[in-house]
Amino acid sequence: MAGGRIIDRIIQALRTVFGPVLQQWPLWLTTVLTLIPMTWATWEYHVIRLHDLPLSHLLGSLVTDASVAAVVATLVVWIVAHIPGRRVVKWLIYVLLLALWLVSLFLLRNFNTTYTPQVLQLLLETNRGECSEFLHAWIGAPGTRRAIMIVVFTLALVLVAEWLRPRVATWLQRRVPMVVASLLLTALLLFGLWNIRPLVRSYHSLYELELARADNHANDVLSTLHASIVTLRIQEQETAAAIDLTVREATEGQATCAVDSMDLVLVIGESYNKWHSSLYGYGLDTSPLMRAERDRGLLTVFTDAISPYNLTSVTLKNLFSLNSLGHGERWEQRPMWTAVMHRAGWQVDVWDNQRDFMATELFTASLNMYLFNPRIVETVYHQVNAVGHEFDADLVKDYYASCPASARNLVIFHLMGQHTQFSARYPHTPEWEVWTPAEVPNATAPYIDDERRQVILDYARATRYNDYVLASIIEHYRDRNAVVVMLSDHGEEVYDYRDFIERDHNPVKTPLMVRHENEIPLLVWCSPVYKARHPERAAAIAAAASRPVMNDAIGQMMLWLGEVSSPWCDSTRNVLHPAYRPAPRLIYDNIDYDRLMSRQ
Ligand SMILES: [Zn+2]
């Protein structure tokens, strides 16, 4: 009897807590489903465009995003259940949700974006006249029409659900469905509260925010809006300073150049684990073309280069800035070295294959705001690419088809490289579908199954494709006075020593983690013409191969290669110079890389 009473009490308690959700289930569902537009867009993208459906990944992101929205939805139905005039309030909330849904769909369908920092900035800066002009221009667009159709369809579903609501609610309040629904809701809400943590703490730098977002990747409207607002606030301070310095350097800086005609190329790869390249001893020949260049004596392979972080955006900010982390200088305290090159008379072209890629994500948005800030584009670059390409070789072709070379030409390629989803990084043709899973080296650990072996194989193929992309760039300079520098923004784990892939954002770093995530390839190719004209410089480059270097020091190297003189030039920071004195290599702001690795 007593047991029965306890169960009755528990059921009564569950009814009190979850009653409003079960009573107002259409409102609860509508709130959850309209607050995760990016999740639906990701599903559509994977199902329609990529044809490979990592279902567990997609379901995982759905549950993460929905959990945050579920916390909001539960609050909403609670408020509606406990205030007077609830019918009016409920329909007002529906109107609000559908309006937000319409805006989300409008942004996604027309611009493939969400509430990013740029979109928010546009909204803040746009006056009413511009706004109506803008709406007028986009009102009849196919994306807008589709967005409206989806919202009308959603409204129809809401009306049907509200008509069915009393009957379903009565059924939901029965003992078994209610207990099941309550358990599911409890799990979802607890997960949601966990995922909401990044929204309630304070941030002092974009790096902190990116780190929090990398750990907990909720893409619901609430998390996206929060990240965008915080980004705008911090970025305004950080980036404004860096942009001012760079623009001033490009327009008023003191810089001259000692060379009349030369081509200088910087190729920035992505997520390149050098231990998967045959240049660094990998068991499959993933870099045959670069090996051939090395054997011809044209390519210097650096053996001790690292990146300061395992995130793209913060690494590239430090790479483009003339700061030195080991000297305690932050990236926003120094101008970009490209501005110094521009001022010295170099034509600077930037062809970036990641500019549109995941443009809605914080890491892309935060980098683009700096690298492609309109004032920087205007004062530093000669030309930038208009569109991205599915494969890197097409980006390279696009550049050489559209840009005639000038006398002193600096070209920067930012590739997609071996970015996540390795199988999407090379064309699926017989030429690139080389090797079989059985040939994958060192894949004997117990956690390596067929699926993982295929992933390692895809990484090897993507690495080999990257080798071809580098060679296709070099081919343009074989008979010219040219130097091509190639490196990666950071490394990547590919089931190397544990059952783990991509990058780990745990603040505690182990030597093995750092070996795979921070050690990077760094290659310098000198054309035969360059070697003949500058034997002493070519010898200096070859002599530097084993020196320790971090990729925040690339700017000094580029200025020296471009024979630029400027007050910013510092031979003690230039790895190619005999006067080079390496600074402590601080990774993740405060870990001494060399000390950490000596523990191995
Ligand atoms: Zn990256």
What is the CATH number for 476?
Answer: 3.40.720.10
320 CA distance to ligand 1 centroid (A)? 14
513 CA distance to ligand 1 centroid (A)? 16
Q: For residue 211, is it within any domain?
A: no
313 CA distance to ligand 1 centroid (A)? 7
Rg, Å, the chain Cα set: 27
Q: For residue 209, is it within any domain?
A: no
Name the token pair of 402. Answer: 């559209």
Q: For residue 235, is it within any domain?
A: no
521 CA distance to ligand 1 centroid (A)? 13
Q: For residue 220, is it within any domain?
A: no
Q: For residue 202, is it within any domain?
A: no
432 and 333 part of one domain: yes
316 CA distance to ligand 1 centroid (A)? 9
- Rounded to whole angstroms, how far apart are CA atoms 213 and 207? 10
Full residue range of the structural domain in which residue 430 is found:
253-598
- Given a contact cutoff of 8 angstroms between Cβ atoms, the answer to whether 537 and 522 are in contact is no
317 and 406 part of one domain: yes
353 CA distance to ligand 1 centroid (A)? 12
- Rounded to whole angstroms, how far apart are CA atoms 496 and 479? 40
Closest CA to 584 of 572, 571, 575, 593: 593
Provide the 10 A C-beta neighbour count for residue 302.
22
Contacts for 168 with CB less than 8 Å, ≥ 6 apart = 25
Q: For residue 534, is it within any domain?
A: yes
100 CA distance to ligand 1 centroid (A)? 32
In this structure, the strands spanning 383-384 and 564-565 are unpaired
- Final residue of a domain: which of 175, 195, 215? 195
Q: What region, left, alpha or beta, does residue 346 occupy, with left being phi > 0 and alpha being psi -120 to 50 degrees?
A: beta
Structural domain total, the chain: 2
Amino acid at 241: A
Q: What three-state secondary structure class fits 100?
A: helix
36 CA distance to ligand 1 centroid (A)? 26
- Final residue of a domain: which of 150, 167, 195? 195
Strand partners, 257: 564
**What is the predicted pLDDT for the residue at 515?**
97
516 CA distance to ligand 1 centroid (A)? 13
**What is the predicted pLDDT for the residue at 370?**
87
Q: What three-state secondary structure class fits 384?
A: strand
- Rounded to whole angstroms, how far apart are CA atoms 90 and 93? 5
Name the token pair of 118. Answer: 């740029």
269 and 163 part of one domain: no
pLDDT in tens, 146-161: 999 999 999 999 999 9
Provide the 10 A C-beta neighbour count for residue 469.
25
**What is the predicted pLDDT for the residue at 2?**
63
106 CA distance to ligand 1 centroid (A)? 29
322 and 184 part of one domain: no
488 CA distance to ligand 1 centroid (A)? 8
Helix (H) or strand (E) run with residue 450 in it: helix 450-474
- Weakly modelled stretches of the chain, pLDDT under 70: 1-3, 48-54, 118, 121-134, 216, 357-365, 600
Provide the 10 A C-beta neighbour count for residue 472.
15
164 and 294 part of one domain: no
261 CA distance to ligand 1 centroid (A)? 32
Long-range contacts of 319-323 (CB under 8 A, 24+ apart): 319/268, 319/489, 319/551, 319/552, 319/554, 319/555, 320/370, 320/371, 320/555, 321/242, 321/552, 321/555, 322/555, 322/556, 322/568, 323/552
Q: For residue 325, is it within any domain?
A: yes
66 CA distance to ligand 1 centroid (A)? 27
**What is the predicted pLDDT for the residue at 202?**
86
Amino acid at 386: A
- Final residue of a domain: which of 180, 195, 210? 195
Q: For residue 38, is it within any domain?
A: yes
510 CA distance to ligand 1 centroid (A)? 20
588 CA distance to ligand 1 centroid (A)? 15
160 and 65 part of one domain: yes
465 CA distance to ligand 1 centroid (A)? 17
- Given a contact cutoff of 8 angstroms between Cβ atoms, the answer to whether 271 and 418 are in contact is yes
102 CA distance to ligand 1 centroid (A)? 33
**What is the predicted pLDDT for the residue at 126?**
56
321 CA distance to ligand 1 centroid (A)? 17
131 CA distance to ligand 1 centroid (A)? 36
pTM of the model: 0.70
244 CA distance to ligand 1 centroid (A)? 26
Helix, strand and coil in the chain, % to nearest 5:
60, 10, 30
259 and 171 part of one domain: no
50 CA distance to ligand 1 centroid (A)? 21
**What is the predicted pLDDT for the residue at 346?**
96
267 CA distance to ligand 1 centroid (A)? 13
86 CA distance to ligand 1 centroid (A)? 49
Tell me the CB-side half-sphere exposure of residue 515, using CA atoms within 13 A. Answer: 14
420 CA distance to ligand 1 centroid (A)? 9
311 CA distance to ligand 1 centroid (A)? 5
449 and 308 part of one domain: yes
User: What DSSP designation does 481 have?
Assistant: S
